[in-house]
Copies of this chain bind each other. A is one copy, B any other.
Amino acid sequence: MRKYISPRGSMELMSQFEVKRLKHSASSELYQLFRRCSLAVLCAGLQSDSDESLFSLHQDFDIHVIQQARGVKLELVNPPAKAFVDGKIIAGTQELLFSVLRDIVYLSNKYDNIKNLDLNKPFHITNVVFDILRNAHVIAKRHSPNIVICWGGHSIKQHEYLYTKDVGYQMGLRGLDICTGCGPGAMKGPMKGAAIGHAKQRNYQARYIGLTEPSIIASEPPNQIVNELVILPDIEKRLEAFIRLGHGVVIFPGGAGTAEELLYLLGILLAPKNKNNPMPVVLTGPKESADYFTEIDKFIGRTLGAEAQSKYKIVIDNPKEVAQLMAKGMAEIKQYRRSTGDSYHFAWELHIDGQFQQPFNPNHKNVSELLLDFNMEKSELAANLRRAFSAVVAGNVKGETIQLIKEHGPFHINGDKKLMAMMDKLLSAFVVQGRMKLPGSKYIPCYQVNK
């Protein structure tokens, strides 16, 4: 079965250079990347946390770019039926497909290629992140600050999911836009809730931003409410994109990925240069989640200290308060940035240390050598803890890392005994609570904490 898809949203115009590059033999890496991301988007809504099933199910799927008189078209060979209604592609999916095309073309085109770009320099990395977001039209000119980052697990319980919807609804009523990492659970709930809030406020320009990266898009395919999708090249640039694009952060219950994100955030907010930079951060869940957050809070207190704890507020079972805290935070950010001259749409002045920007490759050697010690500087400890959790996430959901684990056994995490005990406890809790994997499969840890 072949389907021809016209552009929608972005990337109607390609140079012959660009078309050529994507046409290269099916064995080319770029083409494979394009095919995989497109397939992920066509499977939007799929409940899965492994990309294996996705790819094995659709081995006969293929995609080609075609130049035509009125512009570019996509030819889909054997696309998943779910993406179509009575034979016509769903417009949201169509839009996301062209977002993929746009980002793949842009990324392929640029960064390897530019002579005076030095990806070891923080300032250069930040400019690259800006450039990608700008090219995706995600940086909104002249808007006042209103983007809330929602982080949390992809595998959460029903009452937690309903709670994320409630929070989203209250934020939608207050004109706040939602930005998440795509995928199900806490990444989808706030968007669905906000959609109703925005509809009641007749906000037809509401933004549902999804930031993803090639290695994660297949295990967490964007839902079709996402109306602005960006594929960043790696996890670290994606995290930087979140934190410079967004204005406030709401963290719902989640597993290793959520812990990674929280540690990243705190590591940055703890930098002395960011001391005055306002960013509202709220950890929240229904009343059943109170214990969960007590645990997290304790872990943060003991590892990063009271200053880190002061950077966030825990709100239990009160969606309205969460939304009000965010709305209040937006006003402060507006005032602050006006006073410093920093832009509303991209937090140039936020300091992000190089150790949070350099890609961390989660292999056995790198993980086992991570320094994890109470005596380190707080932000350095945060950076390494972040890397440890990042490795666990990769071992859970990224095809390549899963393969590594299959071959060499679980990662070994080493460090201070007391610290290790705390980490093990936290990770075990995630396992017990079913936060590591979607229900239906037994979780086999990809890590071992050496106490």
Contacts and interface: CB of A to CB of B under 8 A. Distances in A.
Interface of A: 7-8, 12-13, 15-17, 67-71, 85-86, 90-93, 95, 112-116, 123-124, 126-127, 130-131, 134, 139, 141-142, 173-174, 192, 195-196, 199-204, 224-225, 227, 324, 327, 334, 337-338, 340-345, 348
Contacts of A17: 123-124, 127
Given A69-B341, A192-B196, 4 more contacts: A13-B139, A70-B344, A113-B114, A113-B116
A142 B203 contact: no
Given A16-B123, A345-B13, A224 B204 contact: no
Contacts of A123: 16-17
Closest 9 CB pairs of A and B: A200-B224, A91-B202, A12-B141, A91-B201, A92-B200, A17-B127, A69-B338, A85-B173, A69-B337
A116 B204 CA distance: 43
A142 B71 contact: yes
A90 B372 CA distance: 50
Contacts of A86: 174, 324, 327
Given A127-B15, A200-B224, A173 B338 contact: no
Nearest to A11: B141
A199 B92 contact: yes
Contacts of A13: 134, 139, 141, 345
Q: Which of A71, A139, A341 has the most CB of B within 10 A?
A: A71
A347 to B, nearest CB: 11
A448 to B, nearest CB: 43
A86 B176 CA distance: 14
Contacts of A200: 90-93, 224-225
B95 A202 contact: yes
A82 to B, nearest CB: 12
A350 to B, nearest CB: 13
Contacts of A324: 86
A69 B334 CA distance: 8
Contacts of A338: 69
B127 A173 contact: no
Contacts of A95: 202
B142 A12 contact: yes
Nearest to A95: B202
Q: Which of A173, A199, A337, A345 has the most CB of B within 10 A?
A: A199
A68 B346 CA distance: 11
A69 B333 CA distance: 10
A67 B343 contact: yes
A91 B198 CA distance: 9
Contacts of A112: 115
Given A16-B348, A86-B324, A343 B202 contact: no
Contacts of A127: 15-17
A71 B343 CA distance: 6
A224 B173 CA distance: 12
A201 B114 contact: no
A427 to B, nearest CB: 36
A90 B15 contact: no
Q: Which of A126, A201, A204, A344 has the most CB of B within 10 A?
A: A201
A131 to B, nearest CB: 6
Contacts of A192: 196
10 contacts: A13-B134, A15-B131, A16-B348, A69-B342, A70-B141, A86-B174, A91-B201, A92-B201, A114-B115, A199-B224
A344 B69 contact: yes
Contacts of A334: 69
A197 to B, nearest CB: 9
Nearest to A172: B85
A83 B343 CA distance: 28
Nearest to A17: B127
A5 B310 CA distance: 40
A334 B69 CA distance: 8
Given A327-B86, A343-B68, A130 B15 contact: yes
Nearest to A205: B204
A124 B16 CA distance: 10
Contacts of A70: 141-142, 343-344
